Amino acid sequence: MELPLSGGGGMRRSASHTSLSESDDLDLSRLLNKPRINVERQRSFDDCSLSDVSYSGGHARGGGFDGMYSPGGGLRSLVGTPASSALHSFEPHPIVGDAWEALRRSLVFFRGQPLGTIAAFDHASEEVLNYDQVFVRDFVPSAMAFLMNGETDIVKNFLLKTLLLQGWEKKVDRFKLGEGAMPASFKVLHDSKKGVDTLHADFGESAIGRVAPVDSGFWWIILLRAYTKCTGDLSLSETPECQKGMRLILSLCLSEGFDTFPTLLCADGCCMIDRRMGVYGYPIEIQSLFFMALRCALLMLKHDAEGKEFVEKIATRLHALSYHMRSYFWLDFQQLNDIYRYKTEEYSHTAVNKFNVIPDSIPDWLFDFMPCQGGFFIGNVSPARMDFRWFALGNMIAILSSLATPEQSMAIMDLIEERWEELIGEMPLKICYPAIENHEWRIVTGCDPKNTRWSYHNGGSWPVLLWLLTAACIKTGRPQIARRAIDLAERRLLKDGWPEYYDGKLGRYVGKQARKFQTWSIAGYLVAKMMLEDPSHLGMISLEEDKAMKPVLKRSASWTN
């Protein structure tokens, strides 16, 4: 879908090949020229140091549910010089400089302004596929790196441009997509003869299998909050345009339907795992991002005539969603033993086995994998179906958003330590565990040659996840886990050319079809490093537990709650 950008003066144009108009420019600059406040960040009451965030029965400071004001610690750097390492006594690792250089090489400009980063800058690869695009989800770690380094304009630019893309009428064949849908990716096309830049956005229509990027809108809201938290600049999130953008995303996922659960029903591959991998229904990645986006939106939505209705809906949904996730998606040794002993066909309100899960459907690997200490949110829960696989992103976001209770967060970190070989191996970190093989692989993936066992989305190891692991480690007061993982990554990443993913049970091999110079592998590493050096950055991506959300109740007592 190629879209001209409009100032959105009330009129919607349908997709066509046009360039940015004068009015678009005006509109964008009006938004961009709002006074910037507090870019030079100062330490505030909200700040936290590594010792502050160590877990002592409570939670890390610096990610408060309440204030939007930024934690500080970082100074705006000289262009090209990462602020992080210069600020502290830490010796920067030799690959940090290369990483910054590679990250800057991936920058995409629109009308002279940096707007995002391409997915991969892989010269050696003959086929570019869609890796020359700016993916919304891929840009998040880049954005975090830039924010942490005091380079905030690119993030603001990205947020505003993607918002304008959301505003266009989106059609796939004859079907009109939801108004709030955010693109999976976009591309800047430069016409050197006419000297104009055009944006080409993909809302899933040209992706393989037409996958819907459900996560894009959630990441957009999460990034808007990170920007606001980092800069202290409330003027962006308070613009009518951003308020409307949030409301449109929210109306897509808060509308009433036939649901009997508060989780969000999705098609397969609608998130980071964007191919058929059996992640349809209620995948953990989407539920965690949904939860986090709702909480971020709650912090930013105005309580005006239009916003109020959403604020109320969000509060109700969060309450139900946290209950559901903490009760039914949570699995530890005790819970597994309970499910193993489940009776089936219980039809009354007192049923313990609410989803009629047949104990025989518990896979064999799980009995050995489950440690006595530790637990995690499983991949999916729906009628008679529990997907017991571990998915890293969903679990890390559950910790960061405080969807996980403090006890559950600690248990997830315990599991990572207990099952280091399986979940981290030689390269952090497994996107999911275990891989599916043979007949199951044929049925679930549709014989996908990219997703063979222990490769790519099917049990591959993705360095990008390092930044989320590090954030979760800091939040739970276990930075030593992150240090160990970063150590492993540092041994290989530069040498191997920053691959997109690694293959094998231990993640020892550069992925079969992995791109090199994959931007989010680079940015993920940098963000992990910067966060460890200055844990006050955690506040940008972490939310404290909301005391109003009730702790989990006993399963059998849940009917009336």
Q: In the complex, which residues of this chain contact ligand GLC (CB under 6 A)?
A: 119, 135, 137-138, 272, 274
Nearer to ligand GLC, 138 or 448 (CB): 138
The residue whose two tokens read 């565990």 is 433
The residue whose two tokens read 């549910």 is 65
Nearer to ligand GLC, 456 or 509 (CB): 456
The residue whose two tokens read 């980063």 is 117
- DSSP conformation letters of 36-68: P---S----TT---TTTTS-SSS--SS--SS--
Q: How far is the CB of 1 from ligand GLC (least distance, A)?
A: 17
Nearer to ligand GLC, 276 or 295 (CB): 276
Nearer to ligand GLC, 274 or 414 (CB): 274
Q: How far is the CB of 463 from ligand GLC (least distance, A)?
A: 12
Instruction: Evaluate whether 361 touches 388 at the Cβ level (below 8 Å).
Output: no
Nearer to ligand GLC, 138 or 332 (CB): 138
Q: How far is the CB of 338 from ligand GLC (least distance, A)?
A: 34
Secondary structure element (H or E) that encloses residue 285, with its range: helix 284-300
Nearer to ligand GLC, 351 or 468 (CB): 468
Instruction: Evaluate whether 257 touches 185 at the Cβ level (below 8 Å).
Output: no
Nearer to ligand GLC, 46 or 500 (CB): 500
Find the radius of gyration of the CA atoms of the chain: 22
Q: How far is the CB of 106 from ligand GLC (least distance, A)?
A: 11
CA geometry: angle 91, 506, 510, nearest 5 deg: 75
The phi and psi torsions of 277 (rounded to 5 degrees) equal -145, 20
Q: What CA–CA distance (Å, rounded) separates 116 from 123? A: 19
Q: How far is the CB of 205 from ligand GLC (least distance, A)?
A: 15
Which strand ranges, in their side-by-side order, compose the sheet holding 385-391?
A: 330-332, 375-382, 385-391, 432-433
Q: How far is the CB of 274 from ligand GLC (least distance, A)?
A: 5
Nearer to ligand GLC, 199 or 299 (CB): 199
Q: What CA–CA distance (Å, rounded) separates 283 from 298? A: 23
Nearer to ligand GLC, 268 or 274 (CB): 274
Cβ within 8 Å of residue 540, ≥6 positions away: 70, 71, 144, 147, 148, 226, 229, 230
- DSSP conformation letters of 205-236: SSSGGG---HHHHHHHHHHHHHHHHHH--HHH
Q: How far is the CB of 109 from ligand GLC (least distance, A)?
A: 19
Q: How far is the CB of 433 from ligand GLC (least distance, A)?
A: 17
Q: How far is the CB of 122 from ligand GLC (least distance, A)?
A: 11
Secondary structure element (H or E) that encloses residue 489, with its range: helix 479-492
Cβ within 8 Å of residue 244, ≥6 positions away: none
Buried b (16+ CB within 10 A) or exposed e, 348-364: eeebebbeebeeeebee
Q: Which residue type does 96 have?
A: V
Q: Whose CB is nearest to ligand GLC? A: 119
The residue whose two tokens read 């808060």 is 254
Q: How far is the CB of 219 from ligand GLC (least distance, A)?
A: 10
Q: Where are the alpha helices (DSSP H) in 128-277?
A: 136-148, 153-166, 214-231, 234-237, 240-254
Q: How far is the CB of 135 from ligand GLC (least distance, A)?
A: 4
Q: How far is the CB of 459 from ligand GLC (least distance, A)?
A: 14
Q: What CA–CA distance (Å, rounded) separates 499 from 519? A: 9
Numbers of helices and strands, H then E, in the chain = 19, 14
Nearer to ligand GLC, 450 or 555 (CB): 450
Q: Where are the alpha helices (DSSP H) in 356-430?
A: 364-369, 392-401, 406-418, 420-423
The phi and psi torsions of 248 (rounded to 5 degrees) equal -65, -40
Bridge-partner residues for 110, per DSSP? 113
Q: How far is the CB of 509 from ligand GLC (least distance, A)?
A: 18
Nearer to ligand GLC, 69 or 146 (CB): 146
